[in-house]
Chain A
Amino acid sequence: MSVQTWTYIIVGLTFALYIAIAVWSRASSTKEFYIAGGNVSPLANGMATAADWMSAASFISMAGIISFSGYDGSVYLMGWTGGYVLLALLLAPYLRKFGKFTVSDFIGDRYYSNSARLVAIICALIISFTYIAGQMRGVGVVFSRFLEVDINTGVIIGIVIVLFYAVLGGMKGITYTQVAQYCILIFAFMVPVIFISIQITGNPIPQLGMGDTVINENIYLIDKLNGLSTELGFTEYTKGNKPMIDIFAITLALMVGTAGLPHVIVRFFTVKKVKDARKSAGLALLFIAILYTTAPALAIFARTNLIEIVSNKEYASMPNWFTKWENTGLLHFEDKNNDGKINYVADKSINELTIDNDIIVLANPEISKLPNWIIALVAAGALAAALSTAAGLLLVISASISHDLIKKMINPNLSEKKELWIARISAAVAVIIAGYFGVNPPGFVAAVVALAFGFAAASFFPAIVLGVFYKRMNKEGAIAGMITGMLLMLYYVLKFKFGVFDGGEVSVVELKSQWWFGISPEGFGSIAMLCNFVVALITSKFTKEPPIEVQELVENIRIPSGVKEASVH
């Protein structure tokens, strides 16, 4: 059977599964809609969190980015996993004990102020919309490449599916579809890599294979790749190009950002006890680590494979996949010296081959000559990754509007039934807006997602950590901190990423020399976070201490026993 037939079958089956789960797990109360009834098992929550977390960027782009940046790619590996340690140790158990529906609930109650709540709602909306746009784009990209439909048609199909199960099932539907999506995406990611690991090193475990010797050659794979890279003028694979301070800053920003992402945090409201929140954070990271320790292996295998296949070979002798991916624009060959050979080198003026990061995951099964059904599986996996994250984000957006904004701030007398309807409607509106961004993308997937982390790091992380660990922190401090963090981050991104103040995106490259401390916009979240902490602490010193009942609340969330069922009040 052709790749396309296989793709229709496998993608069709997975979609049917998601819809079946949605019908089975309809939400009938706001508690079910927002936090899946609050009795999800730690294992299911761990898987759901992993799928929620691993997005189109993790699945499609990350291995490719590492493949072409070598050591520098470590920022994503450490950053996107290390954040779970912070989440498990500093946030999840306490937020579960607090036991409400959203992150803004915590900020609003802990800082006894609707202004703080409003700031939190705005932060949550900015973060979630930035992030979801990338996901919908990812859905469109996968559809267009594997099913050869128009990108926009792909986005619309994605919208309809998410709309169906997120609007109908709320958090309950999302949770159980995410469990299924995790299984699909991890299987789809692992299978091709295991095959490739066996092909190249004879070792079926990619994590070990990447450090193994190459079959029939008496050389370590990593040494071989380092050799090939330097031969072509690239930096050694295991050495980076980025300055150490930027690597440090980006890693920190991604870690703290991960811990501050509202769609990840809310997942810990769905379990029964504090104990379960801790355990499910551990399980979530375990499930995530399976993909995250495999991706760098894939990066090494694919890079070596690619160099060996294309470098200095006749263009006319390239295999089928080469032309196929050339047509999608992911590969581009320009015979600058007219010798008919592919000159793939680091020097941009004579390099003849440009390769998009995404090709490493998407085209790898073909490059390694794996069977058609595996190629189709990768498509289904990428869709699972994008859809599961999109759904989680949608819920945050919908809860921010129906629960935080309307129920808590505008009309507290809203009946539960009405609130549920508003939640559904806002989810539906949010999907459509997200779809619009998917059709008219604000930038490429990974870049947009990276910025969302900066915002999460700059706003939520300090406010929540201080809220739990510093009893004296008051509303003035928290609000001042969050606003400072967000504004700084916004300014830095607009200036250095989009060149808004200096003549548009063309000026961005030259502005690089003006980066503060040599830190890129991707890493600036860590500075903005520090500023948030400092401003919050200083402001709170000079303003009134929080009321006694708030101090009691803090005491209370520090002790795991006496967890009440998460409730509306």
Chain B
Amino acid sequence: MINQELKTKYWNQNLKYLQILLLIWFIVSFGAGILFVDFLNNFNLFGFPLGFWFAQQGSIYVFVILIFIYVRLMNNLDKKYNFDKD
């Protein structure tokens, strides 16, 4: 029997993770790659203008990492609340 309070707590923690991860998702793509691209292009990273790098490379790397962080966080959370059983 899973009680209601545990479920709510689990869900709120999940929402908190989502907020943080989606904020990073927004910052690297829409922020660094679009809104602040001109400013960041003043900096150079290994031959790339930084804003351009975020738009065509960096954001994609961060996306991949974000999903794997999410997988990890949620697996731990499932375990903590004993929701990892079938």
A355 on the B face (CB < 8 A): no
Stretch at the interface among A84-92, A124-132, A263-271, A487-495: A84-92
Q: How far is A81 from B57 in the complex, measured between Cα atoms in Å?
A: 11
A211 in contact with B46 (CB, 8 Å): yes
Q: How far is A188 from B85 in the complex, measured between Cα atoms in Å?
A: 41
Residues of A near B61 (CB, < 8 A) are 289, 293
Q: Name the prevailing secondary structure of the B interface residues.
A: helix
A293 in contact with B52 (CB, 8 Å): no
Question: Count of A residues near B, CB < 8 Å?
Answer: 51
B43 on the A face (CB < 8 A): no
Stretch at the interface among A70-78, A425-433, A451-459, A543-551: A70-78
Given A213-B47, A238-B41, A293-B60, A244:B52 Cβ within 8 A = no
A81 in contact with B63 (CB, 8 Å): yes
Within 8 A of A (CB), among B10-56: 10-11, 14, 18, 21-22, 25, 29-30, 33-35, 37, 41, 45-49, 52-53, 55-56
B18 in contact with A296 (CB, 8 Å): no
Bits for A323-341, please: 1 = Cβ < 8 Å to B, else 0. 0000000000000000000
Q: How far is A526 from B53 in the complex, measured between Cα atoms in Å?
A: 24
Given A275-B84, A559-B2, A562-B86, A90:B18 Cβ within 8 A = yes
Residues of B near A239 (CB, < 8 A) are 41
A89 in contact with B21 (CB, 8 Å): yes
Contact partner, B10, options A82, A278, A559, Cβ 8 Å: A559
Q: How far is A89 from B74 in the complex, measured between Cα atoms in Å?
A: 10
Q: How far is A89 from B70 in the complex, measured between Cα atoms in Å?
A: 8
A85 in contact with B35 (CB, 8 Å): no
Within 8 A of A (CB), among B72-86: 74-75, 78, 82-86
Q: How far is A221 from B70 in the complex, measured between Cα atoms in Å?
A: 36
B83 in contact with A296 (CB, 8 Å): no
Contact partner, B60, options A81, A93, A275, A282, Cβ 8 Å: A81
Residues of B near A77 (CB, < 8 A) are 55-56, 59-60
Given A81-B60, A285-B64, A296-B56, A88:B41 Cβ within 8 A = no
Within 8 A of B (CB), among A82-116: 82, 84-85, 88-90, 93
Across the interface, name the chain A residue whose C-beta is closest to B59: A78
Q: How far is A308 from B77 in the complex, measured between Cα atoms in Å?
A: 56
Given contacts A81-B59, A207-B57, 14 further A-B contacts (CB under 8 A): A71-B55, A82-B59, A84-B67, A85-B63, A223-B47, A244-B34, A247-B34, A275-B71, A282-B64, A289-B60, A289-B61, A289-B64, A292-B60, A561-B83
Which residues of A are interface residues toward B (Cβ below 8 A)?
66, 71, 73-74, 77-78, 81-82, 84-85, 88-90, 93, 207-208, 210-213, 220-223, 238-239, 244, 247-248, 251-252, 255, 273, 275, 278-279, 281-282, 285-286, 289, 292-293, 296, 555, 558-563
